[in-house]
Amino acid sequence: MKAWLLLGVIVASTVSADLLQSREMKRHGEVRELRRLGALARNNRLILAIAFMAVSFFAFMALVQVADLSFAVPASAATLVIETVLARVVLKERVDSRRWVGACLVACGVALLAQ
């Protein structure tokens, strides 16, 4: 039960962080030099994204203590399905049918791994 609760915290905070991160990094444009990433540290939305990632990470630290790594890591991929849908709906990315099928296969895989 504790593992599923921690997983819920991980999924919700990861989805929020990834959406914020992707939108802000796209607004910035392609990163050509890694040291340029430092300049992004003052972006409030990226700071919020990092805060969500921190919550997700602390929950993950607790999760690997009570569950197998071969459960904890794949189970956290449950975020992927929600994120593919939100990438289409919120970020307006074009998600072609091959990517949809791929994401669905990954989702089925995660469901099996979690058993």
Q: Does 62 bind other proteins (CB under 8 A)?
A: yes
Q: Could you tell me how many residues of this chain bind other proteins (CB under 8 A)?
A: 59
Could you tell me which of 102, 76, 105 has the C-alpha nearest to residue 17?
Answer: 76
Q: Does 39 bind other proteins (CB under 8 A)?
A: no
Reduced to 3 states, what is the DSSP secondary structure of residue 50? Answer: helix
41 Cβ neighbours under 8 A, 6+ residues apart: 47
For other proteins, which residue of 5, 8, 37, 39 counts as binding (CB under 8 A)?
37
Angle, in degrees to the nearest 10, between helices 78-89 and 97-113: 150
Residue 111 main-chain phi, psi, to 5 deg: -60, -40
Q: Does 74 bind other proteins (CB under 8 A)?
A: yes
Angle, vertex CA 27, rays to CA 21 and CA 33, nearest 5: 80
For other proteins, which residue of 9, 51, 55, 95 counts as binding (CB under 8 A)?
95
Q: Does 48 bind other proteins (CB under 8 A)?
A: no
**Contact residues: other proteins, CB under 8 A:** 18-19, 21-22, 25-26, 28-31, 34, 37, 53, 57-58, 60-62, 64-66, 68-74, 76-77, 79-80, 83-84, 87-88, 91-96, 98-99, 101-115
